[in-house]
Amino acid sequence: MSRKGKRLYEGKAKILYEGPEAGTLVVHFKDDATAFNGEKFDVIEGKGVLNNRISEYFFTRLGEMGIPTSFLKRLNMREQLHRKVEIIPLEVIVRNVAAGSICKRLGLKEGEPLPRAIIEYCYKNDELGDPLVAEEHVTAFGWATPQELDDIVQYTVRVNDIMSGIFAGIGIRLVDFKIEFGREYAGDMVRTVLADEISPDSCRLWDFKTNEKLDKDRFRRDLGGLVDAYTEVARRLGLLNDNGGGPRPRPKLVKG
Ligand code: UDP
């Protein structure tokens, strides 16, 4: 059950509602899947439920490790409660292994390990197709202040380390992912917090042994089996058959 207020925004995969208390938001995870800036669309039954659960898991773990986040709690199968933040209009992308757009851009082979983790920024603007931008653009156009960008880099490096470790423990390679940050206002204080979602919609996840794709590339590339793949991620994280009331789920260690 959730006491949500008026609908504030409908995105490609989520709907945001006013929350039950001032300064809160209810995030509803839809089953809609889109790719290529909305050109490809489908409804994949069950995706929203899985993403809600998986995103809750990562926001909780990252919060425990000292990363400030907007996440407050999961409300039900499809909804979670967040603190309301002002989204910084950047997609912060971290790459550990070459895949997706960097391959085309730089002529890299998919699966090539990168010399080190690389952080990229895209300016969130659907009309422009979320173009890649440099730090210079971010601060020159005031999308984020130098201090905010500094916070973003520090948190992003830690998020990558923590998530890569969690996924490695369950036999999954974290190839790349996208995160977003927001400004949380409290009185005249403002702080940078991790916001939005972390799910197989926003990560590339490959099985360590088979290289099988366990992420949204199954949809982008018409591979099928998206819900099975997301279910497998949730299962390995120890999230299935848990209603949120029992002891905290633990990921199942996969022996190499
Ligand atoms: N990504 C995302 N939302 C976007 C663009 C990218 O979640 O609007 C994620 C994507 O799932 C992948 C990573 O960011 O894990 C890097 O994506 P890339 O730049 O390679 O773009 P793509 O090939 O997905 O268009």
159-216 pLDDT, tens per residue? 999 999 999 999 999 999 999 999 999 889 999 999 999 999 999 999 999 999 999 9
Q: What is the mean pLDDT of residues 35-63?
A: 97
| Neighbour-count burial for 44-76, b at 16+ CB within 10 Å, e otherwise | beebbbbbbbbbbbbbbbbbeeebbbbbbebbe
Ligand 1 atom nearest to 220, measured from its CA = 24
Q: Range with the lowest mean pLDDT among 3-7, 26-30, 170-174? A: 3-7
Position 212 in a domain: yes
Position 105 in a domain: yes
Position 246 in a domain: no
Look at the chain and report how many structural domains it folds into.
1
Computed over every residue of the chain, the mean pLDDT equals 95
Close Cβ partners of 155 (under 8 Å, ≥ 6 residues apart): 67, 68, 181, 192, 194
- pLDDT category, 252, cuts 50, 70, 90? confident
Find the residues whose C-beta lies inside 6 A of ligand 1.
Answer: 91, 93, 100-102, 130, 176-178, 202-204, 216
Q: H or E segment at 9?
A: strand 7-10
Which amino acid residue places its CA nearest to atom 5 of ligand 1? 178
Is the dihedral angle over the CA atoms 147, 151, 152, 154 positive or is it negative? Answer: positive
Position 103 in a domain: yes
Which amino acid residue places its CA nearest to atom 24 of ligand 1? 100
Are 179 and 194 in contact by the 8 Å Cβ rule? The answer is yes
What CATH number did the domain enclosing 185 receive? 3.30.470.20
Inform me whether the pLDDT recorded for 84 exceeds 50. yes
Which residue among 127, 176, 226 has the greatest number of ligand 1 atoms within 8 angstroms of its CB, and so is best to mutate? 176
Q: What is the mean pLDDT of residues 129-145?
A: 98
Position 2 in a domain: no
Ligand 1 atom nearest to 93, measured from its CA = 14
Position 142 in a domain: yes
pLDDT at res. 249: 64
How far does the centroid of ligand 1 lie from the alpha carbon of residue 250, in Å?
A: 28
pLDDT at res. 245: 45
User: pLDDT over 70 for what percent of the chain?
Assistant: 96
Position 156 in a domain: yes
How far does the centroid of ligand 1 lie from the alpha carbon of residue 146, in Å?
A: 24
Position 160 in a domain: yes
Copy the structure tokens of residue 223: 């591979």
Domain extent, residue 106, equals 86-225
- pLDDT category, 118, cuts 50, 70, 90? very high
Copy the structure tokens of residue 163: 């998530």
Give the closest residue to 197 by CA, choosing from 53, 76, 88. 53
Which amino acid residue places its CA nearest to atom 20 of ligand 1? 100
In tens, the pLDDT along 217-247 reads: 999 999 999 999 999 999 999 999 755 444 5
